[in-house]
Structure 1
Amino acid sequence: MAKIILDFERELSEIEAQIRDLKEREKLYGENHSVQIRVLEKEFEELAQKTYANLNRWQRVQLARHPDRPYTLDYIQQITDTWTELHGDRRFADDPAIVGGIAQIAETGVMIIGHQKGRNVKENMVRNFGMPQPEGYRKALRLMKLAEKYHKPVITFIDTPGAYPGLGAEERGQGEAIARNLFEMSRLSVPILSIVIGEGASGGALGIGVADRLVMLEHTWYSVITPEGCASILFRDASRAPQAAEAMKVTAQDLFDMGIADRVVPEPLGGAHRNPLKMAEILKDVILEELHKLKEFTQDELLEKRLDKYSRVGIYDESKTQGEP
């Protein structure tokens, strides 16, 4: 599969190609290019620091969607000591767009649930491009209730372009399934940690995103609709998605500034896809740290803080009805 190079990464990619070429010549012909390689590596690092520190919102959306970014199962493989996947919603089917199961991270037993995309066309057909159907959300809820029964914290990985909008999904109660999850997660008696690892769009993301702590990786986004969807509605032109992304303020830093995200986790230089093992290592430490904090609260304190967290989202005024003192 050809390597995906985003527009703003082309100059960096050219420097990388020069470095690879020089290293290959050293290996094949015994030539010494160490000085030139060091110069290019320094040039690459300086340019990368400048490039990724000044990305606009649309560029961060593109990074969040990069097909080489680690997905839920990639992180599970790297951060867990044991993992047993569980399947099915016990009503209709198993939805591969959402995976979930019992895991152990260090000495902590957890329930992990997350969106899962595919790496190629065949896998994406199976995973439905990470767009869950109602049975996916019902499977997620079943596993959350199982975690509650055995007093295990829930970790959710969010990475979806949205819930599947097909006719069959609507007939089987897509809206009801998502709404049920919002309701049940709001009162789940165990800690919930949600982590946005890629893109988080609409109710498709929120369906497993009601949490005590919302953590977002540096180059991710989360919004009520995709930038393309917003542009199609407001401007009647999906190609104006970059403009919509700027207006919507969808990035991790935007959500942190608005008080929606609780923490932004720095990614390796260039994004998680450039060093997935390092990203997994960072994320594992963050997960254990966040779960340790949540364990300090009693069940009642946890529910009270969760309710307060979502009550504080947004800006609003309470108006009085006519005749009210």
Structure 2
Amino acid sequence: MAQRPLPFERNIHELEQHLETLEMQQQPSTETLEAIKNMRAEIVRLRREVFDNLDPWQIVQVARHEDRPQTLDYLELIFDEFLELHGDRAYGDDRAILTGFARIDGRKVLFVGQHKGRNLKERTTHNYGMAHPEGYRKAIQKMQMAAKFRLPIISFIDTAGAYPGVGAEERGQAYQIAYNLREMSRLGTPVVSAVLSEGGSGGAIGIGVSNYICMLQYAYYSVISPEGCAGILWKHVKHADKAARALRFTAKDLLEFGVIDKAISEPFGGAHRNPRQAANNLKIELIQALRQFSDMQPDELIAHRYDRFRRIGVFEETKISEAEGEATAAEAN
């Protein structure tokens, strides 16, 4: 059971605690056994009812759950081997982004992923998954090496955004992310990305210019966090729930818009309830995506990636008659 229930899970959590107490009885009576059976069914019903109807702000809360699997967890559960590569050959080794050679389903790949950390020590080491310019420089250098040897690239996106501190800006944060976008668009090898929890702003797209982007069911992928959006539009973070609804950044929305290619189902109640099943679902999708692009030539991969991003945001304008315009205005009023 999760250590900390989310606000909308409190009723379920209370039932689970009661169930746990009943299950600890050494010799339960027939009535107790019947109560346990009924309570299990009720918990399943309530959890299904809640998680089938999560609003965008509740999805953000699930994505940020303290027990939610992170990049290092998925590395252990999905990949058969991982040999980490360090440093950017210029400034240092940014631990917010991990890079290295890996093996999945017998196939060699280059792995790039953002890791936030769990406890204070780990979060400090990995800077809460918010990379500096040297992190993005390390990532693109390793990706370019992978392209040279025709190794597919897998990137895991999990960040609130690139680090916004003075030092990062002084070392060219915006330039380095823009450079990554350009250079990733030119890679002559398959690039597959997965959004694990948070995909925030340029910090996410800096390792996400891919041929294929999948996203876990209770993750979000956005140009800005809901708190940042609320601060700009409504001048206070208390409107974060309103901003979350307006941003349309859930997996369901982004699949509809064509921003992502696949929304990956999570275990019942979220990935933190069953990390191994979540990892297995993600692994299956990654393997299928790699197979999809395995026979494409470098020029084809580059063209595919270019076309994919050019299609995002495409819309059509049509001219309506004056009568139709008046009818639309009347309906709006």
TM above 0.5:
yes
Instruction: State the partner residue of 2:126.
Output: 127
The answer to whether structure 1 residue 168 and structure 2 residue 164 are counterparts is: no
Deviation at 1:35, TM superposition (A): 2.6
Distance 1:215 1:316 in 2: 23
* Aligned ranges 1:38-77 → 2 under 5 Å: 38-77=37-76
Check if 1:31 corresponds to 2:51: no
SS in 1 for 2:76: helix
Whether 1:238 and 2:237 are equivalent positions in the alignment is yes
Give the C-alpha shift of residue 240 in structure 1: 0.3
Q: CA deviation at 1:42?
A: 0.9
Secondary structure in structure 2 of the residue aligned to 1:119: coil
Query: Which consecutive aligned stretches of 4+ in structure 1 deviate over 6 angstroms post-superposition?
Result: none
Deviations 1:228-261 (A, max 9, x none): 0011001111110100110111101111111111
> C-alpha separation between the residues in 2 aligned to 1:16 and 1:100?
40
Correspondence for 1:322: none
The alignment-based identity, stated in percent, is: 47
Q: Tell me the distance in 1 between the aligned counterparts of 2:155 and 2:190.
A: 11
Q: How far did residue 270 of structure 1 move?
A: 0.6
Q: Which residue of 1 aligns with 2:325?
A: none
- For 2:9, the aligned partner's letter is E
Deviation at 1:120, TM superposition (A): 1.2
CA distance, structure 2, for counterparts of residue 316 and residue 44 of structure 1: 44
How far 1:138 moved relative to its partner?
0.7
Name the SS for the 1:88 alignment partner. Answer: coil
What TM-score do the two structures reach when normalised by structure 2?
0.92
Cα distance in 2 for residues equivalent to 1:58 and 1:77:
30
Alignment of 1:57-136 (within 5 A): 57-136=56-135
Q: CA deviation at 1:317?
A: 7.3
Correspondence for 2:14: 14
Count of residue correspondences: 314
Q: How big is the shift at 1:12?
A: 1.3
The alpha-carbon deviation at position 121 of structure 1 amounts to 1.6
Partner AA of 1:180 in structure 2 = Y
Unaligned runs of 5+ in 1: 319-325
Structure 1 residues 38, 317: CA separation in 2 closer, same or farther (over 3 Å shift)?
A: closer
**C-alpha deviation, 1:14, in angstroms:** 1.2
Q: Give the match's secondary structure for 1:236.
A: coil
Q: Name the structure 2 match of 1:198.
A: 197
Could you list the runs of 5+ residues in structure 2 that have no partner in the other structure? Answer: 318-333
C-alpha separation between the residues in 1 aligned to 2:27 and 2:205? 56
Opposite residue 275 of structure 1, the aligned amino acid is N
Q: Which amino acid in structure 2 is aligned with residue 294 of structure 1?
A: F
Query: Cα deviations across residues 164-202 of structure 1 (Å, max 9, x unaligned)?
Result: 000000011101111111001101000000100000110
205-214 or 29-38, which deviates more: 29-38
The aligned residue for residue 307 of structure 2 is 308
- Alpha-carbon shift at residue 316 of structure 1 (Å): 5.6
| Structure 2: distance between partners of 1:213 and 1:185 | 13
CA displacement, residues 92-141 of structure 1 (integer Å, 9 cap, x when unaligned):
01111111110111211111111101111221111111111111101111
Distance 2:90 2:4 in 1: 39
Name the counterpart of 2:322.
Answer: none
| Counterpart position of 1:323 | none
Q: Which residue matches 2:279?
A: 280
- The one-letter amino acid of 1:30's match is Q
Cα distance in 2, alignment partners of residues 231 and 23 from structure 1 = 45
Q: CA deviation at 1:300?
A: 1.7
Within 2, Cα distance between the matches of 1:113 and 1:100? Answer: 4
The 3-state SS of whatever aligns with 2:126 is helix
Structure 2 residue matching 1:14: 3-state secondary structure: helix
Question: How far apart are 1:36 and its partner, in Å?
Answer: 2.2
Please give the per-residue CA displacement for 1:150-175, whole angstroms capped at 9, x wherever unaligned.
21100000110100000000011101
TM-score, normalization: structure 1? Answer: 0.94
Partner Cα distance (2:243, 2:213) in 1: 24
Contact 2:187 2:298 (C-alpha < 8 Å) held by counterparts:
no
Shift of residue 210, structure 1, vs aligned partner: 0.5
Structure-2 change in CA distance of 1:37 and 1:296 (3 Å): farther
Return the alpha-carbon distance in structure 2 between the equivalents of residues 88 and 21 of structure 1. 51
Match of 1:296 in 2: 295
Residue 258 of structure 2 aligns to a residue whose secondary structure is coil
Give the SS at the match of 1:113: strand
Counterpart secondary structure, 1:122: helix
Indicate the SS of the match to 1:96. Answer: coil
What's the CA shift for 1:30? 3.1
The residue type paired with residue 5 of structure 1 is: P
Partner Cα distance (2:280, 2:221) in 1? 23
